Structure 1
Amino acid sequence: MLKIGITGGIGAGKSIVCRLFALLGVPVYDADTRAKWVMHHDKALKQELTEAFGPEAYTEAGELNRIYLASVAFHDPQKLELLNSLVHPHVGNDFTKWVEANQQAPYVLKEAALLFESGSWEQLDEIIVVAAPLDIRIKRTLQRDPHRTRHDVEAIIAKQLEEEEKIARAQHIIYNDDQQLLIPQVLQLHKLLLSKI
């Protein structure tokens, strides 16, 4: 079974591309969603986060205090690195278990915004980058997330690897630039990946 990573900057359209692959029957692991689940349910990680960020990391009901963690870590590069260094290994273990549970599939996709930044690309056989021009990405993100400002979106982009670097490190590129149709690109890549098995 091939393990394929799919990444791209905020607003590039990773989620819509993954939905198209899912419609073709490809299992998709959403690393961001699973990271939230792991942070809520993995007892060892909960302990590590509480030790690193204090008891405020979780509410009295035991729920992850995302607002607190974001306020502490997002604007402090060292704390953000600490948070990621604690969370990513647990998500990596969760992905390994998920792959074992999906052995019947010819290939699986791991969707992650920080695939290269987290080092999780090393677990994978090939990488797909969903690419879109910066102005389109910012516009899409502001439409999707009305609570964010342009400054917020630019701050997120500044923390992500540049798109050119992602493209240089990937084996496959899907262009979501509002010029090229997504479905034919996904179908062609699906056929290519199946041919490798």
Structure 2
Amino acid sequence: MKVGITGGIGSGKSTVCRLFAQKGVAVYDSDAEAKRLMTSSEALRAGIVARFGAESYRGGELNRAWLADRVFRDDAARADLNALVHPAVMADFAAWAERQSGDYVILESAILFDAGLEGCVDRTVAVLAPLELRIERTCRRDGCDAEAVRRRIAAQLDDDALCARADFTLVNILEEELEPNVALLDRRFRHEAQHAGH
């Protein structure tokens, strides 16, 4: 069984995924894997260079800041980049999931619904947190200013949309309150996976 975990920037998806990982669940971090594939996959590199130009790579490495600057200002450019990256990530996730043991695996993706990736998983979980807390967490983590974080949040689905589309929601304010809720979902997913097809 495959479970997709999503949530806006600063909501604490990574914290939730770490708690699941502590219970022995394999987690695929689609953001980290996308970065890896954008450098390691020949086909993906060729597609990015064809669309955005040779400037996309410097000394064999992805020119991340330059590319991010292009796609965050231009919705069409962002859509084009996503159309190149998402199929590569989903194929990689499917192959990775086949190699895992355990009752279920987790796909961690900030843009699960935006990118239409919910079709690749059996259950979805949205991680939510109050806006000001999300801004504070992101500023602390990335060393950026609140205005930059607000812009990034504005480009993502809001909590109402996430709630409407996700099978389950987790509110992440305090980790000690989060842990028992993750434990409940873990038991539920294991039960579902073990009884699937019976």
TM-score (normalizing by structure 2): 0.94
Structure 2 match to 1:30: 29
Matches within 5 A, 1:181-192: 181-192=177-188
How far did 1:181 drift? 0.5
Amino acid at match of 1:92: M
Shift of 1:179: 8.7
* Secondary structure at 1:181 match in 2: helix
**Residues 24 and 48 of structure 1, relative CA distance in 2, 3 Å threshold:** same
The CA deviation at 1:177 is 2.3
Which structure 2 residues correspond to residues 37-116 of structure 1 after superposition, within 5 A?
37-59=36-58, 61-102=59-100, 104-116=101-113
The number of aligned residues is 193
The separation in 2 between residues aligned to 1:149 and 1:77, in whole angstroms, is 22
Q: CA deviation at 1:136?
A: 1.1
CA distance in 1, matches of 2:124, 2:169: 9
Superposition deviation, residue 105 in structure 1: 1.6
The residue number in structure 2 matching 1:122 is: 119
Q: State how far apart, in whole Å, the 1-side matches of 2:164 and 2:137 are.
A: 24
Take 1:187 and 1:72, find their aligned partners in 2: how far apart are those partners? 41
2: CA distance, partners of 1:19 / 1:72 = 32
Q: Which residue of 1 aligns with 2:192?
A: 196
Cα distance in 1, alignment partners of residues 176 and 133 from structure 2: 14
Note the alpha carbon deviations across 1:69-98, whole angstroms, 9 max, x for none.
Answer: 012111111111111111111111111111
Per the TM alignment, residue 174 of structure 1 is displaced from its structure 2 partner at its CA by 1.1
Aligned to 1:16: 15
Q: Secondary structure at the match of 1:29?
A: strand
Q: What letter matches 1:168 in structure 2? A: A
What secondary structure is seen at the aligned counterpart in 1 of 2:73? Answer: coil
Please state whether the residue corresponding to 2:4 is helix, strand or coil. Answer: strand
SS in 2 for 1:86: helix
Paired-residue identity, %: 43
Structure 1 residue runs without a partner (length 5+): none
**RMSD, aligned α-carbons:** 1.2
Please identify runs of 4+ aligned residues in structure 1 that moved more than 4 A.
none
Per the alignment, residue 196 of structure 2 pairs with: none
1:169-189 deviation digits (Å, cap 9, x = unpaired): 111111112397011111111
Task: Write 1 or 2 for the structure with the bigger share of helix.
Answer: 2
Structure 2: gaps of 5 or more residues = 194-198
In 2, distance between residues paired with 1:119 and 1:38? 19
Give, in whole Å, the separation in 1 of the partners of 2:174 and 2:187: 23
Letter in 2 for 1:96: A
TM-score (norm 1): 0.95
Classify the secondary structure of the residue corresponding to 1:10.
coil
